[in-house]
A and B are shown apart, each in its own frame.
Chain A
Amino acid sequence: MLSHLFKLIWNKRRHHTLLMVEIWFSFLVLFGVMSLISYNFKNYLEPIGFEYENVWALDLNKNQDTTAIAEKLNTVFQKIRSYPEVEVASRMSNNSPFSFTQSNGNISYQKHSVLADYYTADEDFTKALGMKTILGNWFKKADVVAKFKPVVINKKVQEALFGEVNPIGKIIGENQKVVGVIENFKAKGEFMDNSPCIFNLADDKYDYNKVLIKVKPGTDANFEAKLTKDIGAIAKDWTTEVSYLTDQRQNQHNFALVPVIIFLIITVFLLVNVAMGLFGILNLNIAKRREEIGVRRAMGATAGNIKIQFVGEMWVIATFGILIGVLFAVQVPLMHMFNVETSIYWMAIGLSIVILYGIITLCAYHPSRQAAKIQPAMALHEQ
């Protein structure tokens, strides 16, 4: 029966070319969307690696002020730590969690090298974000004066540079010594890839004008107003901006999800068009092929055979379109495009095939049922 269906569609391929092209195009768009969704979904399943509730990010903008910056920063920092509302305060580089700033570079160990995100943070960073090391320790204040600069890496860097070997105490780059390993640190939120990252210890000699503050639960905007006012009193020309990590996380989510949603809407629109096209073509086909339905019934086809015939024809048409689409789509994982795990693309190809066949079955089912109900004597008599 399958070969019969293929033969029938192949002989009528000119009539179905447009539909096949439409299915091919839909497959490619669907593959794109499914890749995006699979990528984001897979990322979402990986823990973010830190806690962001009740954490505020303070941006200290010095504007034109150039005098006694380090002293003023230290005073501000001491002041922040002195509030009873503040549990922990930690200074770090500008690429704080959920910010849109990124800093990266290659790190290497022996013959291995990996591109990693760079962060600089002080000894209280893990307390502010509720993080834990899985090997070794986080920085200590005294590490600043150590012979080698202490660094903490995440598990991704460990896997890339050291494999199964314990990385604690190993020297990477020119003079960086691994003192600890953390599990995950997805600074751009849940939808970020769990990429390699490395932490350097913040040195008081340098200006780090980003402060993460872990406040006590229930701390409200009154404290925020008091904080900015007090900082303004210490450093008159500075401006202070307070952001809640929960809000910044939401912004990052929007940044990741809005393109997916837009793409998804376009795809749904396209698929609805394909579905309507299929539905129309099949209805027209059935109206034109009542004689054939009558003949097949006379030759021994059951109502079920007729249903399978029409649904099967649509599957065959879809198979031609999808096969061409798959030929294009498999190039993406084979050529390791966009530096994404190939399993994501294979999953997207599989999902796209299942969704397209599902839609085609749904569209073909009702007209095929109608075809199966045609009385053979009536269909043959009409001709």
Chain B
Amino acid sequence: MIKLSNIEKVYQTSNIETLALNNINIDIKKGEFVSIMGPSGCGKSTLLNIMGLLDEPSTGTIAIDNKPVEKFTDKDLAYLRNQKIGFIFQSFHLINDLSILDNVEIPLLYRASTNKSRREAAKEALEKVGLSNRMKHFPNQLSGGQKQRVAIARAIVGNPEIILADEPTGNLDSAMGNEILNILLQLNAAGSTIVMVTHDENMAKKTHRLIRLFDGSQVS
């Protein structure tokens, strides 16, 4: 489903060159739940951004559904992100000026859809994460766990095949964290392919496969 071959990412400032990722080769199969672990600054988020087509590797190739994306235009990449990938972030990244329902609708704004169909899909996604009673609330009226559930609803509203979660439980206490992980496990059981960056060994153990990074290199 996602294949990374010989990925390198170098950040270049005026005099300094920083190697963020070095010779990464990962093949994620459809329906897998993969966790990525490693110390802070080892390149986990960079790797996830590259998988999510938010960032480009300096060298190497990415293929989604066996199609290399190097020559894809901005529009093609946006289309892939919109149709195939759902993102969940550690700090939720909800838009505070929009209601929960409007936040969840965002991915659907960038595809052909009617107001009514967007509304229905967003309500359905919020029901899945147990927040149907908070649709008209605004993000600053919710707890951290609720915000992350909204972020999950936003990630799944467009029925993407891949969910990329960057430390989704990082800002939550363990009970909330487990709740979020359970939702992700349910989504995976329903067929979603999930890649999750985490610092939590216990959570990583519940996934199908663990990839460890150290100083930008894949160690397992």
Question: What are the residues of chain A within 8 A of B154 when measuring CB–CB?
Answer: 299
Q: Which residues in window 35-91 of B have CB below 8 A to A?
A: 45-46, 49, 52, 54-55, 74-75, 78-79, 81-83, 87, 89, 91
A376 part of interface (Cβ distance < 8 Å): yes
Majority-rule SS of A interface residues:
helix
Indicate which residue in A12, A291, A301, A375 contacts B93 across the interface (CB closer than 8 Å). Answer: A291
CB-based contact A377/B55 at 8 Å: yes
A4 part of interface (Cβ distance < 8 Å): yes
A3→B115 CA distance, assembly (Å): 8
A300→B110 CA distance, assembly (Å): 6
CB distance from A248 to the nearest CB of B (A): 62
Indicate which residue in B78, B87, B91, B109 contacts A383 across the interface (CB closer than 8 Å). Answer: B91
CB-based contact B83/A298 at 8 Å: no
A349→B195 CA distance, assembly (Å): 56
A220 part of interface (Cβ distance < 8 Å): no
B29 part of interface (Cβ distance < 8 Å): no
A294→B89 CA distance, assembly (Å): 11
Nearest residue, chain B, Cβ from A12: B97
A302→B53 CA distance, assembly (Å): 12
CB-based contact A295/B106 at 8 Å: yes
Q: Which residues in window 338-383 of A have CB below 8 A to B?
A: 375-377, 380-381, 383
B170 part of interface (Cβ distance < 8 Å): no
Q: A299-B87, A300-B111 are in contact. Are A383 and B102 (CB under 8 A)?
A: no
CB-based contact A383/B93 at 8 Å: yes
Most A C-beta atoms less than 10 A away, residue of B75, B79, B102, B106: B106
CB distance from B197 to the nearest CB of A (A): 13
CB distance from B135 to the nearest CB of A (A): 14
Most A C-beta atoms less than 10 A away, residue of B78, B95, B154, B158: B78
B105 part of interface (Cβ distance < 8 Å): yes
Majority-rule SS of B interface residues:
helix
Indicate which residue in A292, A298, A305, A383 contacts B54 across the interface (CB closer than 8 Å). Answer: A298
CB-based contact B81/A299 at 8 Å: yes
CB-based contact B52/A302 at 8 Å: no
Cβ proximity bits A283-298 to B, threshold 8 Å, 1 near / 0 not: 0000000011011111
Q: Which residues in window 259-313 of A have CB below 8 A to B?
A: 291-292, 294-305
CB-based contact A377/B49 at 8 Å: yes
CB-based contact B97/A8 at 8 Å: yes
B98 part of interface (Cβ distance < 8 Å): yes
CB distance from B85 to the nearest CB of A (A): 8
A300→B78 CA distance, assembly (Å): 4
CB-based contact A1/B55 at 8 Å: no
B144 part of interface (Cβ distance < 8 Å): no
A298→B86 CA distance, assembly (Å): 8
CB-based contact B87/A298 at 8 Å: yes
CB-based contact B95/A301 at 8 Å: no
CB-based contact B78/A301 at 8 Å: yes
Indicate which residue in B45, B46, B83 contacts A300 across the interface (CB closer than 8 Å). Answer: B83
Nearest residue, chain A, Cβ from B103: A295
CB distance from B78 to the nearest CB of A (A): 4
B31 part of interface (Cβ distance < 8 Å): no
Nearest residue, chain B, Cβ from A298: B87
Question: What are the residues of chain A within 8 A of B110 when measuring CB–CB?
Answer: 296, 299-302, 305
CB-based contact B93/A294 at 8 Å: yes
Question: What are the residues of chain A within 8 A of B78 when measuring CB–CB?
Answer: 297, 300-302, 305
CB distance from A90 to the nearest CB of B (A): 74
A336 part of interface (Cβ distance < 8 Å): no
Question: What are the residues of chain B within 8 A of A383 when measuring CB–CB?
Answer: 91, 93
Question: What are the residues of chain B within 8 A of A298 when measuring CB–CB?
Answer: 52, 54, 81, 87
Q: A298-B87, A300-B107, A376-B54 are in contact. Are A8 and B79 (CB under 8 A)?
A: no
CB-based contact A295/B93 at 8 Å: yes
Q: Which residues in window 144-178 of B have CB below 8 A to A?
A: 154, 158
Cβ proximity bits B92-121 to A, threshold 8 Å, 1 near / 0 not: 010101110010011101110001000000
Indicate which residue in B49, B52, B79, B106 contacts A296 across the interface (CB closer than 8 Å). Answer: B106
A222 part of interface (Cβ distance < 8 Å): no
A260→B154 CA distance, assembly (Å): 55
Nearest residue, chain B, Cβ from A300: B82
Q: A299-B107, A299-B154, A381-B45 are in contact. Are A292 and B87 (CB under 8 A)?
A: no
CB-based contact B98/A8 at 8 Å: yes
A295→B147 CA distance, assembly (Å): 15
A interface residues with partner B (beta carbon < 8 Å): 1, 3-4, 7-8, 11-12, 291-292, 294-305, 375-377, 380-381, 383
List 20 A-B pairs, Cβ < 8 Å. A7-B98, A11-B97, A294-B54, A294-B93, A298-B54, A298-B81, A299-B82, A299-B107, A299-B154, A300-B111, A301-B78, A303-B74, A304-B75, A305-B78, A376-B54, A377-B49, A380-B49, A380-B89, A380-B93, A383-B93
5 extra interchain contacts, Cβ-Cβ under 8 A, other than A11-B97, A292-B93, A296-B106? Answer: A300-B83, A305-B78, A376-B54, A376-B55, A380-B54
**Which 7 A-B residue pairings sit nearest by Cβ, starting from the closest?**
A300-B82, A377-B55, A300-B110, A377-B49, A302-B78, A299-B107, A377-B54
